[in-house]
Structure formats: C-alpha cells, structure tokens
Amino acid sequence: QINNRQTEVALLLADAREQVRPLASIDLGIAKRDLKRDRDQENTLSNQITDEMRAFTGADIAILNGGGLRTDVAAGPINYALLFRIFPFNNRAWILGPATTQQLLSLFDRAATSCGAHGSLFQSGLKIRYSRDCVNRNVNGIDPKAQVETISFQGQLIVDRSQTPPLFVEREFKIATIDFLGDGNGSGYKEFAAIK
C-alpha cells in the first residue's frame, strides 16, 4: 500500500510539473558569472537582487534578509524555475516608507550584531560600515557590542558615530522589501513594523 501511495504522489508531482513547465521555462536573462550567496557577508547574489529590486521599484533602498536566498546561481541562463529555487517562498514585494534615518540605524544596528546567527540584512542604496567582532561572538552567535559606524546615501554621509558630536542627518527614505520582513516578524526584525 505504501508503494501505491508513493506511485500516486509521484504521478501527481509529474502532472503538476508538466502544468507549470511553460511558466517555469520562461527565460529571464543570463547570468554572466556565478552569483554566490552568503548568510552574513556581502555577496554577489544579494547585491544583484537588491540592486534590481531598487531599480524596478524606484525605491531609495532595497532590503532582503540573508536567509531568504536559498541557492547560488551558476553562470548561464536564468528562468522562472531557477528564480523559484532562489526564492522558494510565497513572498510579496512591499514598498515601505517613509522610513527615517533613525529607523534605518535601528535596523542595521541589529543586523550588525548578527554574525549570521539571526540573518543579516543585505541592501542596495546605502553604504554602511560596521564595527563588530564575530570571532569572539557570544554563545547565541551574536556580537552584542556591534554597531553601525557610518551610513552614506548617494555619496552623502548621514550617520558618523566617530565624530564629536556624532553626525546624524535625519531624512526620509522609501524602502523596497518583502512581506516576510516588512510586517516586523521575519528574522526578528521588529523594527520594520514601525515603518508604514
């Protein structure tokens, strides 16, 4: 009876794959080089995807969580089937804002502590410098003393904690992200919930 059920499931899956094949095989483009992902460090895949999100939406900043990217991309054709392997979730794109400089600082201060433990944030539109010590992280895999040192937007320094007094330029930003983060529940980034 188990073998019959396995056969039945296999047939259902084969039928479902055949039904989605026309969509799954649509060409989306070509990766000119391998695009690698990393849960914590800046990487080519998150850079490419956040850059495309920002360009497509017209947002000032695009933000994704490192744990949301589930496979690397080899150089070559990209189709919907591969896109779904990269993002195997039913997420929707969200545009949030206006977000303030202070709200961005809170988000990225939390991201700095991660060391990969709770999923870092990857972004397009800002240049951010952190201070952190992931070699000596605590038992929870984070560096609780980590923080953002500087944030620049369009070549302008808007946060610099090394200055006395610290430089802080308050302004507003439109953010492109996904509902997993935007609702304030994804990867523990409750700070998103305050951005409407």
User: Cα separation of 154 and 113, whole Å?
Assistant: 25
pLDDT of residue 1: 66
Element containing residue 9 per DSSP (H, E):
helix 2-24
Q: In the predicted model, is pLDDT for residue 155 greater than 90?
A: yes
The per-residue pLDDT for range 85-100, each reduced to its tens digit, is 999 998 999 999 999 9
Segment 117-153, tens digit of pLDDT = 877 999 999 999 999 999 989 988 899 999 999 999 9
**Region 188-193: what's the mean pLDDT?**
92
How many CB atoms within 10 Å of residue 28? 12
DSSP state of 35: B
Alpha helices in 25-164, H assignment, sequence order: 44-57, 80-86, 101-113
Written as one letter, the residue type at 74 is: A
What the block records as the tokens of 65 is 């969580």
> Could you give the CA distance from residue 132 to residue 154 in angstroms, rounded to a whole number?
24
Pairing relation of β-strands 147-153 and 167-168? unpaired
pLDDT, residue 28, reads 93
**What is the reported pLDDT for 188?**
86
| Least confident stretch, 42-46, 47-51, 124-128, 139-143 | 139-143
162: phi then psi, degrees, rounded to nearest 5: -80, -15
